[in-house]
Amino acid sequence: MSQFSFDAQPTAALFDHQGAVFALGDGAVRFASGERVDAHDGPVLSAAIHPSGEGVVTGGDDGKLVWSRREDAGQLAAAKAPGSTPWPHRPPLA
């Protein structure tokens, strides 16, 4: 069994065709093979395996939708609605 160490809290753990993929609370996507993509300015809020099975699509607190793949170790696509703002934050629980 492999052990992983991250600088931020994992928000999702998924498996694509090549292995484990982790979305992190600092906005990064980490692949078990070592690649890192700084996908978002703020935490990753949702993550899903891309329909092709290559990499992940993430939604972040910055309002972006990003597809990240291992081979390019970088952002391949990003979409943000015109005039959109980051997700509203809920008040802390009392």
The confidence score (pLDDT) of residue 89 equals 58
Burial of 87 (0-12, 13-18, 19+ CB in 10 A): middle
Q: What is the pLDDT of residues 24-72, one digit of tens each?
A: 999 999 999 989 999 998 999 999 999 999 899 998 888 888 899 988 7
Q: What is the pLDDT of residues 5-16, one digit of tens each?
A: 888 999 999 999
Q: SS3 of 92, please? A: coil
Per the CB < 8 A criterion, the answer to whether 59 and 48 are in contact is: no
Q: Where are the domains of the chain?
A: 10-79
Query: Dihedrals φ, ψ of 82, to 5°?
Result: -55, 135
Q: Give the C-alpha separation, 77 to 57, whole Å.
A: 9
Burial of 62 (0-12, 13-18, 19+ CB in 10 A): buried
**Whole-model pTM?**
0.77
